[in-house]
Amino acid sequence: MTPRQSSGRRLVPAYLATGGRARPSRNTLDRLTLLHSVGMPITSEVRPEEHRILELLQPGALSLAEVAAHLHLPVSVVKVLVADLVDAGRLHARVPIPEAEQFDRQILERVLDGLRSLKS
């Protein structure tokens, strides 16, 4: 994850996006949280960085990590922005689709034990 594609030193620091806050108002967000726009009209009180997020999500959903990469911002900062937008009702955040369920090792072992005991 490169901070910025151009080689130069950043001109605008990340803390400016949130006014220095890094603690999101909700702690349910993580890198894989899927975001999609509610489709509310973007009014003028939306700050530029929020505007960009909503614009990015206009065509479809993206994960929070992807949004962060598009904005060249740290994930922690994007979390704060996204949490604000979710609070304002402009975004839906969805828990990531869980990974395929792993089999429970204990059950498998007990089944195996059961089979063995049947066999013997």
Residue 62 bridge partners (DSSP) = 35
Residue with smaller CB distance to another protein, 24 or 84: 24
Q: What is the DSSP letter of 37?
A: E
Q: Which two tokens stand for residue 37?
A: 């726009």
Task: Compute the distance between CA of residue 103 and CA of residue 67 in angstroms, rounded to an integer.
Answer: 33
**What is the smallest separation between the CB atom of 80 and another protein, expressed in angstroms?**
8
What does the binding site for another protein look like in residue numbers (CB under 8 A)? 1, 3, 6-24, 27, 30-31, 34, 36, 39, 41-44, 48-49, 51-52, 55, 58-62, 66, 70-77, 79, 94, 97
Closer to another protein at the Cβ: 44 or 102? 44
Q: In this structure, what token pair is assigned to residue 98?
A: 């869980």
Taking the C-alpha atoms of residue 112 and residue 54, their distance in angstroms, rounded to an integer, is 52
- Which residue number, 9 or 116, has a Cβ lying nearer to another protein? 9
CB of 102 to another protein, least distance (A): 20
